[in-house]
Amino acid sequence: MIIKQKNQRGFTLVELLISVSIFAMTVFLISGIYIAFSKAQAKAKASQTLLNNAQYTLEIMAREIRNSEIYDYDPNNSGGMCGGVSCCEYFIGANYESCILLKKEDGQLFAFVADLSANERKLFYVVPPGNSYTEFPWETDYSAFTKLLGPELNEVLVQDLDFYILPSTSPFESGGPNVQPRVTIDLKASYYTDQAIAQVSYLLQTTVSSRIYKR
């Protein structure tokens, strides 16, 4: 009686090593694609959040400047219309930078102002209640400060804020320049995060002409 043996030959060591290597390379490539996609998604989300909040704030400032009167055409200048200190310091206090002072139709003063100290980096809309703008500085009235941008509010750090007012003196005074006032706003903001891949920043700019006409 002849018994035929079945072929029970298994994988050789070389074949096993090749199979494991191919599997490992496949996993590595898939992992790399997933990590790259996750990083790109995190950066895109950070960019969109930053742009949405910064552009919205820029629109608020532009609208208020367009519909209000500029109170001081050089609010950061010491020795101007507010005496020995700048009008920003006179009304807002010494802890804030890059402010613009505006006046509503009813005479109410208000301002946009940034705190650019290292542990703050915030932007405020300051409207003191009632006629309290005649008292100074406004920083004593914390209810007057409405936060527009800030790391704990909307994950935005204000890196820099500048208001360029033209002309530099009121055109509505006697002998003033025959130019309608306009303001250029430069806002540099970054996304607040510990993730290096999501640390994005943008510089936004817009120019607004005042609708107030007194001539």
pLDDT tens digits, one per residue of 78-125: 777 887 888 888 888 888 878 999 998 888 889 999 999 888 899 999
CA dihedral sign, ordered 98, 213, 110, 169:
positive
pLDDT tens digits, one per residue of 160-197: 999 999 988 888 887 778 888 999 999 999 999 888 88
What would the two tokens of residue 164 be? 């360029």
Please list the residues that pair with 188 across neighbouring strands.
160, 203
Please list the residues that pair with 110 across neighbouring strands.
102
Q: Could you tell me how many helices (H) and strands (E) the chain has, helices first?
A: 3, 8
- Higher pLDDT among residues 162 and 38, named by residue: 162
Instruction: Report how far residue 160's alpha carbon sits from residue 169's, in angstroms, rounded to the nearest whole number.
Output: 24
pLDDT tens digits, one per residue of 8-26: 566 677 777 777 778 778 8
Are the beta carbons of 95 and 115 closer than 8 angstroms? yes
Band of pLDDT at residue 29, cut at 50, 70 and 90: confident
Instruction: Report how far residue 157's alpha carbon sits from residue 71's, in angstroms, rounded to the nearest whole number.
Output: 27
Query: pTM, whole model, 2 decimals?
Result: 0.78
